[in-house]
Chain A
Amino acid sequence: MSTIYSDAWYDDMKLLINGSAEFRKLAPTQRMVMTLEVIGDDTSPYVPSGSAVHFLVVLDHGEVTEYRRLTERHDGKGLGFRFTAPATVWESIAAGQIDPITSGLRGQIKIRGDMRFLMQNADAVKILVDLYGRQVTTEWPQGKPPYAGAE
């Protein structure tokens, strides 16, 4: 068990993805750098309003080689994708309570990047985001979503 946004949690996520034979089979072979931006809101007890958590995910030959927290927002150099959403949305996905694809289609998650690459690798993207929501080892010391006061 690892606490959300802790170093151990990032390591667990990396192990979870790399342990998926299905993802390995469908993942793109080229290197892909992505950043996930967790924007603080008034509801999440983990990322308060006015702050943000940024993390980096690097895929290379079907394997996650990096999954770690960044000290600041990625400057965009060499970046393939930027996924941005309020903390409550990311945490609800991590808790398996909302579907990440539907959240993306509704615009709760903003995506910037090569959409043609995204379409070509949609199956791998689906597995990746499902894994994010399916993981059950996260500890929520300040409570798990749905949070009181969330819409």
Chain B
Amino acid sequence: MELLGADTASGLADLLHQFLEQTLDASAEKATDARALRGHLVVRAAEDEGIAVRIAFLGDRIEVSDLGAASVAGAPTIQGDFLSVAHVTSGQASPLALVLRRQLRVRFPLTQLPFLWGVLGLMRIEERRRHGLALALGVVLLVALVLVFWLRS
């Protein structure tokens, strides 16, 4: 993880850099997922049009840098206020719900959908817990089915 221009970085860039670094440090699985991602994501603050951050997933490293008012051709862009971005990353709200409520604007070429999906999954704090819950439910269901068939026979 590298924050380019760290001395003069915006708070959003600094926050996302720390957030991603801590997320990847906490999960080897997410670190592996991150290495498989290739592309650029732009996160733009709704509070100030001049604050935008580019997160570049380059395989062996991730670079976070300020973009200002510039744009990155073909890169998915997420624009929202601090609370909306926090709600998406913490799993308190789905991106779709916030898009429908116009609290979040997401723009992306269709070809970038898998990349965007991968990044959102990576940044979502509750994602692994949900996977764990789904897995636990699956195991319970499987055990129940085995018991039903065993009792029948």
Nearest chain B residue, comparing its CB with the CB of A107: B11
* Pair B87/A105 contact, Cβ less than 8 Å: no
Contact of B47 among A101, A111, A116 (CB under 8 A): A101
In the assembly, what is the distance between CA of A101 and CA of B82, in Å? 8
Nearest chain B residue, comparing its CB with the CB of A123: B83
- Interface residue tally for chain B (C-beta within 8 Å): 27
In the assembly, what is the distance between CA of A107 and CA of B45, in Å? 13
Find chain A residues with CB under 8 A from B9 CB: 107
A106-122 vs B, CB cutoff 8 Å, 1 = contact: the mask equals: 11111110111011101
Nearest chain A residue, comparing its CB with the CB of B11: A107
* Pair B22/A102 contact, Cβ less than 8 Å: no
* Pair A120/B83 contact, Cβ less than 8 Å: no
* Pair B83/A104 contact, Cβ less than 8 Å: no
Nearest chain A residue, comparing its CB with the CB of B86: A122
Find chain A residues with CB under 8 A from B82 CB: 101, 104-105, 122, 126
Contact of A119 among B12, B45, B81, B90 (CB under 8 A): B90
CB-based A-B contact count at 8 angstroms? 70
Does B125 belong to the interface (CB within 8 Å)?
yes
State the main secondary structure of chain A at its contact with B.
helix
Find chain B residues with CB under 8 A from A120 CB: 86, 90, 92, 125
In the assembly, what is the distance between CA of A110 and CA of B83, in Å? 18
Find chain B residues with CB under 8 A from A115 CB: 15, 18-19, 22
Q: What distance in Å separates the Cβ of A101 from its nearest Cβ neighbour in chain B?
A: 5
In the assembly, what is the distance between CA of A110 and CA of B8, in Å? 11
Find chain A residues with CB under 8 A from B26 CB: 116
8 more CB-based (< 8 A) A-B contacts, given A106-B11, A107-B10: A105-B51, A106-B51, A109-B11, A111-B14, A116-B19, A119-B85, A119-B86, A126-B83
**A residues lining the B interface (CB < 8 Å):** 99, 101-112, 114-116, 118-120, 122-123, 126
User: What are 19 A-B pairs with beta-carbon distances under 8 A?
Assistant: A101-B82, A102-B47, A104-B15, A105-B15, A106-B51, A107-B10, A109-B11, A110-B14, A115-B19, A116-B19, A116-B22, A116-B26, A119-B85, A119-B90, A119-B125, A122-B82, A122-B86, A123-B83, A126-B83
Closest 8 pairs between A and B when the two form their complex, measured CB to CB: A122-B86, A115-B19, A107-B11, A120-B90, A119-B86, A115-B18, A119-B90, A102-B47
